[in-house]
Amino acid sequence: MRPRALEEFVGQSHILGPDKPLRILLDSGHLPSLIFWGPPGCGKSSLARIISQRLGFSFRFFSAVVSGIRELKDLFARLEAETQEKNLVFIDEIHRFNKAQQDAFLPYVEKGVITLIGTTTLNPSFSIVSPLLSRSRVFILNTLDEGEIREVMKRALDDPERGYGGIRFTVEPEVMEIIAHYAQGDCRAALNALEMLVESARASTEASSPGEAVALTRARLEAVFEGRLPEYDRDGEGHYNLISALHKSIRGSDPDASLYWLARMLEGGEDPLYIARRLLRVASEDVGLADPQAIVIANAAQEAVHFLGMPEGDLALAQTVVYLATAPKSNEIYTAYTKAREDAHEHGADPVPLYLRNPVTSLMKKAGYGDGYMYPHDYEGRVVSQEYFPTTMKGRKYYIPSEFGFEKTVGQRIKWWEEKRRGGSGSAQQR
């Protein structure tokens, strides 16, 4: 059921619709090298074949999984020597070639010997070398929505040449909807499931009631789909997109969305300790001292998951997610440490003042280590007017507490200590 022309192609209207960028390129007849970035089953390979046919290119298909770079370089050299026709070389999963292998394409793309179309499921910014990216146009392909998946499956049932149009069917209405939902935007997965369903139902019908219409029922579909869960990519782009959605939902104080993304990750097979580690980061980065209990709760969840394992540990993570999402928010600790880190890089060679150094040996004491240090516990109010920065950095201010939650109390404490150090009430007098 691979589409044979642009008119049969389903989806990607954001780049193929009227006056959209890829359609404009195709209508112009000029084709640069292209990178198609998108999830499995969204039409990347089919679209490349259609483009080749539409513009009159020769089409040579290679998969980076099974093809070697030597094979490709031999082809490029032969094309350069033997022909002047327009050559489209299609590399499926181009990200599987390493940097040196990808660099081998450059001279032939640069000289126009080939027009390259590469497909990848990974972010090209990280998986494709910069020189090749700069010579290519990147198009992002989206997962197909459920309506588009249903349209493709209907064509497969109706097509008498390549599909099942020569067979009489009865189809329960929800069958197509269930397949479209569980395909998770992957057209290939939907067609595979439909094929398994039809072949199973046809074999059963021919065995028990020859000549009757083949019944595509929900009961048979559930048998075909038994035990299947939505796909989850623990190592690729989807992994980082989902953890990003979870983090941002907690930061945005939406407990329900946070629980949804947590469930997506756990039910998809994510390592629960990975989630627990991220929640510890959220507790410091986005809640901070607005609720000092946040990091305690997050750490307790990590210990619970480690001790209980899964699935029993899921509720500890859910409890933490809701606690963090509903906690008062402050990123002032994150902001303060970022500033301090920048100064640490810029002023990393500034010496520690002698009075702040610990004179652990007699030689160090003779050298002046610790001279002039005022021990706060020996002074009234437990505070002294003493500089704790290097001499070149006096007056630095990194942490400015917010007015949210406990951090308001922290701000009041800071103000109190600053007033004491300036010599206000309870000024430093040795006891």
pLDDT tens, residue by residue, 78-120: 877 776 678 888 988 888 888 888 888 888 888 888 888 999 9
- The average confidence (pLDDT) of the chain is 86
Number of domains in the chain: 4
Give the contacts of 390 (CB within 8 A, at least 6 positions apart).
347, 350, 351, 352, 353
Residues 261 and 380 reside in one and the same domain: no
177 domain-assigned: yes
- For the segment 134-161, the average pLDDT, to the nearest whole number, is 91
Asked whether residue 257 is domain-assigned, the answer is yes
Residues 99 and 167 in one domain: no
User: Looking at residue 29, what is its pLDDT?
Assistant: 85
Confidence of residue 329 (pLDDT cuts 50, 70, 90): very high
Look-up: residue for tokens 């002294």?
384
Q: Which range among 71-85, 258-272, 402-416 shows the weakest confidence by mean pLDDT? A: 71-85
Q: Residue 22 pLDDT more than 90? A: yes
Tell me, yes or no, whether 132 and 153 share the same domain.
no
**Residue 66: which CATH number?**
3.40.50.300
CATH number at residue 396: 1.10.3710.10
Q: Tell whether 241 and 219 lie within a shared domain.
A: no
Please tell me the predicted confidence (pLDDT) of residue 426.
Answer: 44
Q: Beta-carbon neighbour count of residue 216 at 10 Å?
A: 22
3-state SS record for the chain: CCCCCHHHCCCCHHHHCCCCHHHHHHHHCCCCEEEEECCCCCCHHHHHHHHHHHHCCEEEEEECCCCCHHHHHHHHHHHHHHCCCCEEEEEECHHHCCHHHHHCCHHHHHCCCCEEEEEECCCHHHHCCHHHHHCEEEEECCCCCHHHHHHHHHHHHHCCCCCCCCCCEEECHHHHHHHHHHCCCCHHHHHHHHHHHHHHHHHHHHHHCCCCCEEECHHHHHHHCCCCCCCCCCCCHHHHHHHHHHHHHHHCCCHHHHHHHHHHHHHCCCCHHHHHHHHHHHHHHHHHHHCCHHHHHHHHHHHHHHHHCCCCCHHHHHHHHHHHHHCCCCCHHHHHHHHHHHHHHHCCCCCCCHHHCCCCCHHHHHCCCCCCCCCHHHEHHHCCCCCCCCHHHCCCCCCCCCCCCCHHHHHHHHHHHHHHHCCCCCCCCEC
pLDDT at residue number 230: 44
Query: How confident is the model over 2-12, as pLDDT tens digits?
Result: 999 999 999 99
Residues 13 and 135 in one domain: yes
Q: Are residues 12 and 130 in the same domain?
A: yes
Q: Is 254 a member of any domain?
A: yes
Identify whether residues 273 and 153 lie together within a single domain: no
Q: What is the spatial distance between Cα 38 and Cα 46, in angstroms, rounded to a whole number?
A: 13
State which of 110, 140, 170 marks the end of a domain.
Answer: 140
On the question of pLDDT at 280 being above 80, the answer is: yes
Q: Assess if residue 338 is contained within a domain.
A: no
Confidence check: pLDDT of 219 > 80: yes
Residues 142 and 14 sit within 8 Å (Cβ to Cβ): yes
The answer to whether residues 44 and 114 belong to one domain is yes
Write down the pLDDT at residue 13: 92
Cα 255 off chain centre by: 21
Of 125, 140, 155, the domain-final residue: 140
For residue 26, tell me if it sits in a domain. Answer: yes
> Residue 229: is its pLDDT beyond 80?
no
Do 135 and 156 belong together in one domain? Answer: no
Q: Are 317 and 218 in a shared domain? A: no
Query: What pLDDT is stored for residue 9 in this prediction?
Result: 93
Q: Which of 212, 210, 211, 171 is nearest to 194 (CA)?
A: 171
pLDDT of residue 237: 60
Residue 428: name the closest of 383, 371, 375 by CA.
383
Record the tokens describing residue 77, joined without a space.
Answer: 């050299």
Structure tokens of 98?
A: 């390493």
Torsion on CA atoms 19, 24, 26, 29, rounded to nearest 10: 140
Are 101 and 48 in a shared domain?
yes
> Is-contact 77 43, C-beta < 8 A?
no
Q: Among 298, 301, 323, which residue's Cα sits nearest to residue 310?
A: 301
- Any idea what the CATH number is for the domain that residue 264 is in? 1.20.272.10
pLDDT at 48 over 60: yes
Other residues' Cβ atoms within 10 Å of the Cβ of residue 54: 14
* Residue 306 domain-assigned (yes or no): yes
Under the banding of pLDDT at 50, 70 and 90, the label for residue 428 is very low
Instruction: Report the distance separating Cα 258 and Cα 250, nearest Å.
Output: 6
Does pLDDT of 298 surpass 60?
yes
Query: By residue range, what is the domain housing residue 165?
Result: 146-224
The verdict on 106 and 162 lying in the same domain is no
- Mean pLDDT confidence for 276-300: 94
The pLDDT tens digits for 349-379 are 888 888 888 888 888 888 888 888 888 888 8
Cα dihedral 158, 160, 166, 172 in deg (nearest 10) = -10
Let me know how long the chain is: 431
Residue 285 lies in a domain: yes
pLDDT value of position 399: 86
Residue 233, token pair as written in the block: 């990519």
Any idea what the CATH number is for the domain that residue 209 is in? Answer: 1.10.8.60
